[in-house]
């Protein structure tokens, strides 16, 4: 049976952690699903890990549609969320709806949109028309130039309040899920306790409803210095499937992220 928003909400109510990984093709979709991953995120991170770009900003709508279709072909149980790429939803709610429809038609069950309160009208517009939305706050990679780099967000009293207020506004506007990236664990815990929708952390501590990592990072396929919030699950595994199963188990038991992986 396909994982649904109802499934995820029940997991939250039962204090069961949600395991999420990015995925970009049918082969990995099958492996991840069979290893117990609840949600597959077709991330615009494909710009980095597949296309070799330094940011996600060059990823196109056609890229996301193609990879969503590939992932959908490899799964029949996991919930599929797809990122809406830069420039495909910011102009107007109508623009966002038109492009989200194409992503849903390709096989996604939910779209993900970056941004705080400025996105509330768009999220309300989509949700009222039957398109589930996952919001994304904290470090938002599509705003990387404005943020001045990949760095911790919400680490002052003022910025933490803004992020908390954004989270409340996004839930009120109809967001069904919230990704929080690179924010202090204490702030992420407060947001999770405040909201009723599932929260998914990446570099946001282990008090979120679930966790997400970029697949390639989880498998140790990163270049340069390893970011603090990443763990290489391939290091102690004999196969990719075993590494994914270890990741799922670590998320479900609350062993990942540990204190060394949070801020």
User: Following DSSP, what letter does each residue of the chain receive, concatenated?
Assistant: ----HHHHHHHHHTTPPEEEEE--SHHHHHHHHHTT-SEEEE-TTHHHHTT--SSSTT--HHHHHHHHHHHHHT-SSSEEEEEPPTTSSSS-HHHHHHHHHHHHHTT-SEEEEE-SGGGHHHHHHHHTTT--EEEEEES-GGGHHHHTSS---S-SHHHHHHHHHHHHHHHHHT-SEEEEES--HHHHHHHHHH-SS-EEEESS-S-SSEEEE-HHHHTT---SSPPTT---TTTT-SSHHHHHHHHHHHHHHT-SS-GGG--
CB–CB of 5/134 below 8 Å? no
Q: Is 181 designated active site?
A: yes
* Contact residues for 65 (Cβ-Cβ < 8 A; gap 6+): 102, 103, 106
In this structure, the number of other CB atoms found within 10 A of the CB of residue 115 comes to 19
262: Cα separation from own chain's centroid: 17
Q: Given the residues 114, 171, 181, 245, select the one marked as catalytic.
A: 181
* Catalytic residue set: 181
């Amino acid at each position: 049976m396909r994982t649904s928003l109802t499934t995820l909400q029940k997991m939250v109510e039962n204090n069961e952690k949600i395991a999420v990984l990015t995925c970009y093709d049918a082969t990995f979709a099958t492996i991840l699903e069979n290893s117990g991953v609840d949600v597959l995120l077709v991330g615009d991170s494909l710009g980095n890990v597949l296309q070799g770009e330094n940011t996600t900003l060059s990823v196109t709508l056609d890229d996301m549609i193609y990879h969503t279709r590939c992932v959908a072909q490899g799964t029949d149980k996991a919930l599929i969320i797809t990122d809406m790429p830069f420039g495909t939803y910011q102009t107007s709610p109508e623009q966002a709806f038109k492009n989200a429809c194409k992503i849903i038609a390709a096989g996604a069950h939910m779209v993900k949109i970056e941004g705080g309160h400025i996105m509330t009208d768009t999220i309300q517009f989509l949700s009222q028309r039957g398109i589930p939305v996952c919001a994304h706050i904290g470090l938002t990679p599509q705003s990387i130039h404005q943020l001045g780099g990949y760095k911790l967000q919400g680490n002052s009293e003022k910025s933490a309040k803004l992020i908390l207020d954004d989270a409340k506004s996004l839930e009120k506007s109809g967001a069904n899920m919230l990704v929080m990236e690179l924010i202090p664990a204490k702030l992420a815990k407060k947001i999770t306790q405040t909201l009723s929708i599932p929260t998914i952390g990446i570099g946001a501590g282990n008090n979120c409803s679930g966790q997400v990592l970029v697949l390639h990072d989880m498998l140790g396929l990163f270049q340069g210095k390893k970011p603090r919030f990443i763990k290489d699950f391939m290091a102690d595994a004999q196969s990719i499937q075993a590494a994914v199963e270890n990741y799922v188990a670590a998320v479900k038991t609350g062993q990942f992220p540990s204190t060394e992986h949070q801020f």
